[in-house]
Amino acid sequence: MSDLELPPPPWQRPAAKRPRTPRAPLSRDQIVEAGLRLVIEEGVDAVSMRRVAGRLHTGASSLYAHVANKEELLLLMFDRICGQITVPPPQPQRWREQLKDVMRQGHEVLLRHNDFARTAIASVPSGPNALLITEAMLAILLSAGVKRQVAAWALDRMFLYITADAYEVSLERGKIGELSSQLADYFGDLPASHFPNIRANADVLTAGNSADRFEFGLDLLVEGIARSLEKREPGGD
């Protein structure tokens, strides 16, 4: 028997292994951005750890090193959205305009993220970006001379108005024109014996678009705060 060693024939040679490209380490920022893209494309209900992981071409278990659970992820996503809002230093002579500007920004940011406002309604603004907005709006109100308690409750109502309106708009996208027309017809057909005012005012009850109504609400809120300044007593808190 020969001791001669021969190279293996070509048909028996193992396929050459391709060098594996090292995967870039996953970060919390990547996870949050993937979640936001999912919301924009499919809505809040589409968000799950598994779906977000799929966007990042990894398994859900790898996300837990950076995010505790879906609830924490949603909070992080909300705070990332808040970071898109620019908050100004207080200008007491322009406090009305400044408040409206911040509120418009918040409303527009939520509208750009599909139906995420639904989650924002139930969120306590505890992230750094959200708290900076609260701090800025509170500073604007206090610089104008608004009482501390009025300013605190006004903030709560303003945040609720922004998120609730944005969520309603997200539900009505693509249907608002048709819905208004149907409502006007429905109100106009109601029996006058029981609903004389609704029937007679069907046109104005359904007039305007969502942007018109949002601006109307802004004016009501801000002017209501302004009236509290007129009632301020000397030495009031």
pLDDT score, position 21: 54
User: Is residue 80 classed exposed, middle or buried when 0-12, 13-18 and 19+ CB atoms within 10 A define those classes?
Assistant: middle
Domains of the chain by start residue, with CATH:
25-81 (1.10.10.60), 88-230 (1.10.357.10)
- What kind and span of H or E run contains 50? helix 49-55
Q: What is the chain's pLDDT, residue by residue, as a tens digit (237 residues)?
A: 556 666 666 665 565 566 555 566 799 999 999 999 999 999 999 999 999 999 999 999 999 999 999 999 999 999 999 999 999 999 999 999 999 999 999 999 999 999 999 998 877 878 999 999 999 999 999 999 999 999 999 999 999 999 999 999 988 775 655 677 788 899 999 999 999 999 999 999 988 888 999 999 999 999 999 999 987 655 445
pLDDT score, position 82: 95
pLDDT score, position 186: 92
pLDDT score, position 42: 94
| pTM (two decimals) | 0.83
Alpha helix stretches (DSSP H) within 95-201: 95-111, 117-121, 128-143, 148-172, 176-188, 196-200
DSSP structure string for 182-193: HHHHHHHTS-TT
pLDDT score, position 9: 66
Residues 215 and 220: their CA atoms lie apart, in Å, by 9
Residues 207 and 213: their CA atoms lie apart, in Å, by 9
pLDDT score, position 122: 78
pLDDT score, position 231: 73
